[in-house]
Structure 1
Amino acid sequence: MRPGWRESDVTDMPMIGTHIDTFDGMERVPGGPGARLRWARTRATDFRAAFASTGTPDSVDTCELVTLPYPTKFGLFRASTAVAPFLSITNRMLVIRWRESDGRQRVLLFEPSDFELGRKTPYFAALGARVPSPLQSLVLKEHSTVLDHLSRLGIAPEDVDYLLFDHLHTQDLRRWVGTTAPQEDLGGGVTPRFPNARVIVQSDELAAMADLHPLQQPWYQAGTFKDIRPDAFLALTGGRILGPGVAVIPTPGHVFGNQTLVLNTSTGIWASSENAIAAECLTPEHSRLPGLARWARTWQQEVILNANSLENTAEQYNSLVLEKTLVDRSQVDERFLQFFPSSELTAAWTHPGTAPTFSHRAIHHRR
């Protein structure tokens, strides 16, 4: 089902923040993906210093939402030799607050997944139908909801300005931004829980969702966007500085319109996306996960992708190297980088051989 907006709606949407021209033109780099890899590495190096000079946000809080099973062959691509067919990932929301130059406070939610509705994503719905209910309780754990976390942090839903996802796989936004027509499965009309929030998204992804390719269909709930008004979105073309130490940059590959949150904090620069599911996937030579270090050494691949969708694998590799070049090293263990997976590999006794060597679990920042 096609979403209710037209292509012209996407291109006419208002912009936000300050445009980042550093990453413009990747698709026009002469040569193949190898040339674009070198370009991405150089541009990330150039952007590091400029981004650090923008300052830092007031705070970054990390909120656990849900831990769920995920196929090992997706999360660790072809590198893992673990016998377990599934591993566990924990989806977390970041709450970022900053002040504009005029003193107005801004609140951005990164990955505020409505995981109850997310279960209806075709791939996960089919997977859930095959797993007996008693087993589901062993491998799926709901930690807390988006709204409960905000209440704990003292943030009213109407004070949220922006919702941001690295991409819109599994997302159903109807309860967050409301609909223009009654929704039978939700019991009628839907009043937005975040009445003043706009969804920041790359225009490439919105355009793709209007006419999904068969390889994309298992991962999107495009039909749920049909009755969402176009002005609920802020569609970007490229990167933006959103506030002091807060940026979103294009990282295409996992999906055509993939994007990465970049933060400058008291410990340096972080990047967060789902291009990889563990920090060690950016430095696999230090990984104790079965197969990863050997795979990287054998095939001279410096990163291990999260590859459930293969829209453009070489470009996703390049994007992950861009993220790797951009961030600082962990102050906890310098072998690993401050890459924070939006869904992070989590140890589970039910999935032997998939316990991470190192986990961030959270980003903590107060200015």
Structure 2
Amino acid sequence: MITPSPARRRLTRAPFLDAVAGRTPTRTPVWFMRQAGRSLPEYREIRAGVGMLESCFRPDLLTEITLQPVRRHDVDAAILFSDIVVPLKAAGVGVDIVPGRGPVMDHPVRTRADVDALPVLEEPVAEVGEGISGILDGLRDDQVLIGFAGAPFTLASYLVEGGPSKNHRHTKALMHTEPETWHALMERLVPTVTAFLSGQIAAGVDAVQLFDSWAGYLSEYDYREHVLPYSRRIFEAVAGAEIPRIHFGVTTGELLADMAQAGPEVVGVDWRVPLDRAAERIFRAAGPKVLQGNLDPALLFAGPDVVRAEVERIRAAARRAVDEGYATGHIFNLGHGVLPETPAEAVTEAVRIVHETD
């Protein structure tokens, strides 16, 4: 069990933490997934000639890239600049991020022998811890830092497929034809994800998010049988840290109730499900949770009038969920990440709109 970190700041006026605790924040907290990245010219400049994974292991770049959108957009939370496969790379797995494609493994993991040979991350990643220290120095005391890790299923899918997949056919086939091998793979990934998060917690992050990118490709049965137990174990492992835990996946509207049962305080909702409807699904399975979301990232291209109308609609849905007792708070976010082509000014304007509509 992970315990509270002495490095963690004691924040008393952070809107993000107030929303999680069910208090009325001074302003609606807002941050965006992928707020650090290709939508920022300063990011493209600092990353010139530097590989994605190299950036994640260089404390100076890790710090600067994480802080860039906080300075530019005045968001209420920084999200650690990282990638889902960073803990695999740190453990010794042969993986690289290929431009235009994504994470690609040297060798797919498809047999029990492959699983048994898979390296396990046993220690915190020192470079990440050093970067977190620099990030915390650059934040105001009303801004939080969210740690980040990919969930075991998403990591397993990259490993089994050998890279990104449109249908996850090898993953699903292994899950059903060799369930013992599948469960052995998930068992092997849990300590790697836990170690990666525990290192971030020890370094002082204020919250953590477990991101299951590909869970939305699963049926309810497959998620409950083959995925949920392992995500739950990770949330249980970090519960003693006494910081907010967030769970998010893409196209997971039908899985929200199950994902909430993994144990997070905050459940992220993509743009396909209205927040009040999502809250009711979550409530009936796991009681009231804090909602996070859920503006469609594409609407940042539609101009401030459209964004303002959507912000008001989303906030009204969140208020209904709270008033009906189905949710305890709301953190504004996108329903997925900032698209790379998004004008940086549009992101700044969206944050301003969220704050001004309080």
Normalization by structure 1: what TM-score? 0.30
Q: In proportion to residue count, which structure has more strand?
A: 1
Which structure has the higher relative contact order (CA within 8 Å, separation 6+)? 1
